[in-house]
Structure 1
Amino acid sequence: MLLRTLLDDPDLRLELLTGAGGLDRVVRWVYTTDLRDPRRYLSGGEVVLTGLMWHESAADSETFVAALVDAGVAGLISGTARLGAAPPDLIEACGRHDLPLIEVPLDVSFAEISDRVVLGVTAERTGMLGRSRRLVADVAEGADLEDVLRSAAAELGIGCWVLSTTGRSIAAASPGGQDVDDLPEPARRTAVRRFVRTERLPTSFTFGDRATTYSVTAAGPDTGSRAAQWCVVLGADHREFSAGQQAVVQELGTAVALLRARLDEGRRVARQGTDMFLRMVLDSSAPPAEIASRLGTLGHDPAVPVWVLACQAGEDAGLAAALLAEIGDELAPTTLIGSADADTVAVLATHSSAQQEIVDALRAKLAAIEPALGKRRLTFGVSGVAPADRLRSTIEEARHARLLAEHQLARETGSRGGVRVVAGDEVSSHALLLAALPDELRSSFHERLLRDLRAYDARHQSDLVHTLWLFLETSGSWAKAAAELHVHVNTLRYRIRRIEEITGKDLASFADRVDLYLALQLG
């Protein structure tokens, strides 16, 4: 499929802004992003759709376009909802880099363009059976995920399932059309683990007393992080498939990817309304009655209590939103997802006050995703359950808990990635305050109080910082601290006097003890 095929489609009414010389580039897939640098999710040949949420200055345009060109994309299509039109600096950047830039009218959705690309790319593939070609055509005509799975299961003669990386069973179908048993939870966990850990897909595994073999493959092109993708599970060994069955499996993945793209587009549109609502909530002037009214408008019963998840996945707000959507679909009857500054937050309805059960379930689900994160840090903060009229404080509780999760993970893993979940009721008061401080202030406070003490230890090969830590951890007990250090109490008293001389603090003073304790916490 060529890029000019999209431009020539009269239903889309696309307008070329620059880059006419690149219209004969081959389009291999479609990718929607609002990241400033999305190149790690691109494999080349994509047409990239963007709502320009990343654009704040001309420098952003250069960064974004250079990243796309470096990844080898076919072209860029920009929306007009946020800025009204493509900014001149974006047009200039695309012109400098010979990247075709196309603008989409406000009333044409990204989902429509994605449909055209998927259908066009699929139609040009060779060696596919007529039935498999109809899977994507069925999607274009309105078929849902269950319809597509039933058609594929009938063609393949085996059971088919679609799973999220959180282990949620999204849809299932059997070859005979009757209800199919859901995959047992251990089998789902194994399938997800193989999906996120195996470098090349499809892969297979054997499970259960009957040694049933299943295969796992990606829904659509296997590009970018798998952390929030869906996977397709098949009730047979893919290595024994005929060429025709392999074609059906490939087309099934394409159809599922198309349906997922439609779902993501709907979620993206819904987040725009939630973003406005969250800005109103975080503005302390909004009265509770107005918050309750807006909650009702967004489909949430204001009489039902809420809890909040705050999430960051590095700079990838799209991944954070996708994971929150999957988690919300499984853990709550209604979920609102939007942005609160740099955090992505989910407001979830619940009739339960068992926060620890929620946190335990969340940690179990996220453990499977960690191998797919690479060096990315995924941090979550979980609030307690509260009435809807206390939503503002509930959001802040979750955000502060997430800040603490980020601080803890950074201290433990350094530049490595990982997952950390912190619940609001797990956070002690001082830790919550420390997590909310900017990095520069935390570092400055630590250095100002402990720099001289650390320098003394380095010069004299002593360990006064550790002595101070143990003394404070034992609540200033001379006997307990001396026993922990394996020294005489008089030796400990001498060390504490030296610490007081070096730091200028009086460890008999409660206020000075607090200062030094907090400085140690920030180290």
Structure 2
Amino acid sequence: MVKVANDDVRIDGDLTSSRADAAVSGVPLSTVTELPAARGAVVVASSGQLQAPVVRTVALVDALDHLETGEPLGHRLVIAPADALGDALSTRPEVAERLAGAGVAALAVTGVSSEEASWRDVVEQAGIPLLLLPGPTSSEQLNTEVLGAMLDYQTSVLDRLEEVHRVLVQIVLAGGSLEDLCEQLAGFFDGAAMVTTTDGRVLASAGVHGELEHALSLDCFDRTGRLITENEPVGIRALRGPEAHRAAVRIVAGALDHGLLVAFCSHRMLTGDDVRVLERAATVAALAVTKEQAVSAVESKYRAEFLRDALAGRAGSVEEAIAHARSLGWDIDRPMVVVVAETDEDDAHTTRSPEEVRSLQHRFARAWTHAVAVRDPGCPVMGFSQEVVTLLPVTDTADTDKIMRTVSDVARVVRGDGGGGRRTFSTGVSRPITSVAQLPQAYDEALNAVTVGRQMHGDGALTHFDGLGIFRLLALIPDSKHLRRFVEESLGELATDDSPENADLRQTLSILIDTNMNVAETARLLFFHYNTLRYRIVKLEKMLGPFTTDPQLRLTLALALKVHQMRGI
């Protein structure tokens, strides 16, 4: 019977050694303690040390020679007769610390009697796990059984790799999906598995015995359900802490990175061997991803052509357009708004390669498709060049505020709290429409909203067409030089920020005009004393003219302030 003693001894060392343990493929020390030769042994080791791998055995005399020559002893089980170990430590107590520093997996001491307390204390203080084998157990017997266990373990690892590869390839060849792959992997790990995009959006997932629900509750997911990939290391991890219960590898096909394959297991830590299984599975997942992308590319081509025709008014009669959309899995026979999301980065003038731009745009469109599909699978979503167009359904009674809250919720999910290397984007929303025939007009409204909204509010703007106001007309002027000249001529020195006071004076002028020259109300809004505001008005009239009494001048100044507010002018 194996007894585990002194579980509070020093364990694991630093993070580097723990990660090295995870990378090594060997039989766990706990398996060694269960061999027939170790029957009745007293084990002095922590639970963490029992999971460390043993890759080789070495006699004490050879281990001491290795110390002298500087050869590594990492993950080796040192087998030592009790009397020989006692003699070595009595003359050279530093040997224990040197063995610990060399990274030995454990000391298996044979022929232990009740008089070993002195050298046992020295070994325990050095933090080396101990297997104390009393009685007649021979070093040769233990060595033979450990080598046999190592061989069996390596064979089982190779068999497992081949089995995973065979089963998963068969799933793909039989037409299985990423969900099927994840379901099979979850069974292999007795946990959960998922496929995510490169920025962490979950594409497929599966789990056993509540493991998936447990995984999704971890803090490695943000509030939108996105895996925070920027904080997740890829490959082998340290054998400690909550991160040791999950592992991630990249899904790569050629030079393209398609995402991550992630495994979770709440009841055990995932080792380097588990990561190797996951890497083998990732090659099969890459095949499934590229297959799905090929099918999706063909479907997307037909969908894009139809939606492009519908937005341009070339989709035929209303009945034909509705029927065609239904054949593509879309429902457009209902009230809806057109939402245009456009990346703020200008892909026409970028240092990125064309391949990278296409990959980023594909990721952007896929993020919108995923976010909208959760709400309504029949909602059309399609990526065009630098924009993504969505025909978002609304209720007959939905007002502008409710529509904008819905669009804002979807956009927040797409942004994923700003993580995963996403690019910022601006969004424009049309007025509600009730017929497919109104799509061209609504699309034009959404395009105006996204363009002018970015000018009004900067990158990341979310703008409804009805919120554009006078900016709709100003945006129609094709040459911004004319607008800039108009601002400079109307506002004079206030058109610049050469003086810190200019911005304050522009704000005062803007609120005066907005309140219809109500001095008391303007003073209240600006938290000014009434006389202070009167002084500012006199100063503004000296700079701009008698705008308090000239309505035409007020209109000119109001327009100039609106143009000044627009970006890129």
TM-score calculated relative to the size of structure 2 = 0.55
Larger radius of gyration, structure 1 or 2?
2
SS at match of 1:379: strand
- Please say if 1:521 is aligned against 2:554: no
CA distance in 2, matches of 1:337, 1:142: 26
**Partner residue, 1:326:** 370
CA contact 1:482–1:489 (8 Å) conserved in 2: yes
Q: Pick closer, same or farther for the CA change 1:373–1:142 going to 2, 3 Å.
A: same
**Partner residue, 1:129:** 161
Q: Pick closer, same or farther for the CA change 1:323–1:150 going to 2, 3 Å.
A: closer
User: 2:165 corresponds to which letter in structure 1?
Assistant: R
Selected match of 2:251 from 189, 197, 220: 220
SS at match of 2:470: helix
Q: Unpaired runs of 5+ in structure 2?
A: 1-157, 348-356
CA distance in 2, matches of 1:204, 1:422: 44
Identity of aligned residues (%): 18
CA contact 1:311–1:320 (8 Å) conserved in 2: no
CA distance in 2, matches of 1:371, 1:509: 48
Greater CA drift, 231-240 or 244-253: 231-240
Selected match of 2:289 from 260, 279, 282: 260
CA distance in 1, matches of 2:371, 2:326: 22
**Partner residue, 2:337:** 307
1:350-369 map, 5 Å = 353=398, 354-368=402-416
**Partner residue, 1:115:** none
Q: Pick closer, same or farther for the CA change 1:293–1:171 going to 2, 3 Å.
A: closer
CA distance in 1, matches of 2:415, 2:202: 17
**Partner residue, 2:494:** 454
**Partner residue, 1:172:** 205
**Partner residue, 2:312:** 283
**Partner residue, 1:236:** 265
**Partner residue, 1:372:** 420
1:35-434 map, 5 Å = 129-134=161-166, 135-136=168-169, 138-163=171-196, 170-175=203-208, 181=213, 184=216, 188-189=221-222, 195-198=228-231, 200-201=233-234, 214-215=245-246, 217=248, 219-221=250-252, 230-236=259-265, 240-283=269-312, 288-289=317-318, 291-313=321-343, 314=345, 315=347, 316=357, 317-338=361-382, 342-349=386-393, 353=398, 354-368=402-416, 370-373=418-421, 376-383=423-430, 385-389=432-436, 390-408=438-456, 410=458, 419-424=460-465, 427-433=467-473
CA contact 1:312–1:344 (8 Å) conserved in 2: yes
Q: Pick closer, same or farther for the CA change 1:291–1:456 going to 2, 3 Å.
A: closer
CA distance in 1, matches of 2:191, 2:500: 72
User: 1:478 corresponds to which letter in structure 2?
Assistant: V
Greater CA drift, 378-387 or 438-447: 438-447
CA distance in 2, matches of 1:166, 1:439: 39
CA distance in 2, matches of 1:238, 1:369: 30
Greater CA drift, 307-316 or 506-515: 506-515
**Partner residue, 1:469:** 510
User: 1:255 corresponds to which letter in structure 2?
Assistant: V
Q: Pick closer, same or farther for the CA change 1:320–1:358 going to 2, 3 Å.
A: same
**Partner residue, 1:5:** none
Deviation at 1:198, TM superposition (A): 2.0
Greater CA drift, 189-198 or 509-518: 189-198
SS at match of 2:391: strand
CA contact 1:197–1:371 (8 Å) conserved in 2: yes
CA distance in 2, matches of 1:339, 1:193: 21
CA contact 2:247–2:262 (8 Å) conserved in 1: yes
Deviation at 1:213, TM superposition (A): 7.0
Q: 1:220-257 CA distances to partner (integer Å, 9 max, x unpaired)?
A: 1499999xx65444323799423431112123333334
Q: Pick closer, same or farther for the CA change 1:444–1:475 going to 2, 3 Å.
A: same
Q: Unpaired runs of 5+ in structure 1?
A: 1-125, 206-210, 412-418
The two structures, once aligned, show a CA RMSD in angstroms of: 4.6
CA distance in 1, matches of 2:382, 2:324: 14
Deviation at 1:351, TM superposition (A): 6.1
CA contact 1:166–1:365 (8 Å) conserved in 2: no
Deviation at 1:130, TM superposition (A): 0.2
Deviation at 1:286, TM superposition (A): 6.3
Q: Pick closer, same or farther for the CA change 1:455–1:169 going to 2, 3 Å.
A: closer
CA distance in 1, matches of 2:474, 2:217: 39
Q: Pick closer, same or farther for the CA change 1:388–1:138 going to 2, 3 Å.
A: same
CA contact 1:405–1:420 (8 Å) conserved in 2: yes
